[in-house]
Amino acid sequence: MKKLIALAISAAFAAPVAFADVELGPFSIYGTLGSAVEVISVTNNSGAAIANTADSQTRLMDQTSKLGFKAKYDLGNDFFALAQVESRFYLGNNGDNTDDKAEIGSRNTFVGVGSKQAGTLRLGRYDNAYKLSLKQIVPTLYGNLNDASSTYGSKQILNRLGARQGDMVAYETPDWAGFSANLSHNFGKDSTNSISAGAAGTPSNTPATDLMGQTSVSLGYKHSMFNVGFGYTTVNNAAWKLDGSSGAKAANFTATQKLEAYQLGGQVNYMDFSAGAVFERTSSSVSGLAAAKNFDQQQNVYGLIAGYKKDALEVQVQYAKANDVDGTTLTDTGGQQATIAVGYQFHKYVQAVASFSKVDNQKNSNFTTASGFALAKGNDMNQFAFGLVGKF
């Protein structure tokens, strides 16, 4: 018995020696754990019965929890290499089975190379430059305290063509006396539906015949007192029925088509306060196919943000508004969202967050917040959320 104990102790101390020559480099692990109880009150303006899952309720909802591994290697001559794997996971998701939703590398995951003088090139899955332009324009709005208070994303009012995408080549310039730029291209492996000549503008649920590549660019200037910026994106071989609101999807035609968007604005920073605004226009057009005329549409949206941050306390007030869609026979296709969020930092890595969001949809729109509660067209929502965020 004594011999076995001695062997075990010897093995315990010898094991690290076997790995002593493994070079890990400057490697780090990081993550965010966030969850909140959401109290949701739905006003049913549609006149139709809605499912219990889409009606007023209280639920526990994840607020973008993630786990990441990253490394940065010195290549000499001021050059460096990057590697990152970032994954999504869920702390509460309203009882949904999330096993098939959380996967390794589902968030920003890439390899890259760069230098302080030449900028950084990334290959893999990454936020496109159009999404990052919102960070340059109004960083307080981009850095929302929780998902329940967010006004931008694929189903929200702002920045619907900004996204994290696979098959991405992304370039970020260095800081040139406050100026910076981003350029990205996604090669278009995203799936879509094709539309035949006789489909009258309705997706035929068949595979697309062309890849929908997306190119984005952003320009920004950052000063201690203000930020200004501009973003532009275009999607090849695609069009979009904007009057579909948050359910709108890009469609592929056997015709000349164009989907693009631009946004611009700025933010003023004074002492512990900030205030900003952004304007965005999204346009879809199709030529050479009469049945697709319903995809010739345009929509303007606006966003406002005011922030206060001092010591442990942070307050954000947001407002976003989508105008009616131009180029459609539908009316009442706009919507708006007003939000107030408060965060209190108990510790460098622990924060409590409370928010209240009010979403008002017109008869033919169904925008929602980023925590993903699905609303039927014309329905409104009051959403109160209270939770904790831990970081490491």
| Residue 39 phi, psi dihedral angles, 5° rounding | -105, 115
pLDDT at 370 over 80: yes
**Cβ-based neighbour number of residue 73 at 10 Å:** 14
Q: For residues 301 and 135, give the distance between their C-alpha atoms in angstroms, rounded to a whole number.
A: 17
Torsion angle of alpha carbons 364, 367, 373, 378, nearest 10°?
-30
Sign of CA dihedral 242, 244, 250, 254: negative
Provide the pLDDT for residue 192.
Answer: 61
Give the confidence band of 188 by pLDDT, cuts at 50, 70, 90: confident
Mean per-residue pLDDT, 72-88: 94
Altogether, the residues listed in the chain come to a count of: 392
Q: Which residues pair with 75 in a beta bridge?
A: none
With a pLDDT cut of 70, the percent of the chain lying above it is 83
Provide the pLDDT for residue 158.
Answer: 95
pLDDT at 14 over 80: no
**Cβ-based neighbour number of residue 49 at 10 Å:** 8
Give the confidence band of 112 by pLDDT, cuts at 50, 70, 90: very high
- Write the pLDDT tens digit of every residue in 130-170: 999 999 999 999 999 999 999 999 889 999 999 999 899 99
Residue 291, C-beta contacts closer than 8 angstroms, at least 6 positions apart: 195, 196, 197, 198, 199, 200, 201
Q: For residues 392 and 386, give the distance between their C-alpha atoms in angstroms, rounded to a whole number.
A: 21
- Write the pLDDT tens digit of every residue in 189-210: 655 666 654 455 555 556 666 7
- Write the pLDDT tens digit of every residue in 235-253: 888 888 888 777 666 777 7
- CATH superfamily, region 27-391: Porin (2.40.160.10)
Mean per-residue pLDDT, 99-125: 89
Mean per-residue pLDDT, 46-50: 83
Provide the pLDDT for residue 180.
Answer: 97
Residue 75 vs residue 11, higher pLDDT: 75
pLDDT at 181 over 50: yes
Provide the pLDDT for residue 146.
Answer: 95
Q: Which residues pair with 86 in a beta bridge?
A: 68
Answer for the pair 239, 248: CB distance below 8 angstroms, yes or no.
no
Distance of CA 91 to the CA centre of its chain: 19
Domain boundaries, the chain: 27-391
Provide the pLDDT for residue 24.
Answer: 55
Q: For residues 301 and 283, give the distance between their C-alpha atoms in angstroms, rounded to a whole number.
A: 12
Give the confidence band of 18 by pLDDT, cuts at 50, 70, 90: very low
Residue 329, C-beta contacts closer than 8 angstroms, at least 6 positions apart: none
**Cβ-based neighbour number of residue 328 at 10 Å:** 19
pLDDT at 361 over 80: yes
- Global pTM reads 0.88
Q: Which two tokens stand for residue 67?
A: 């786990």
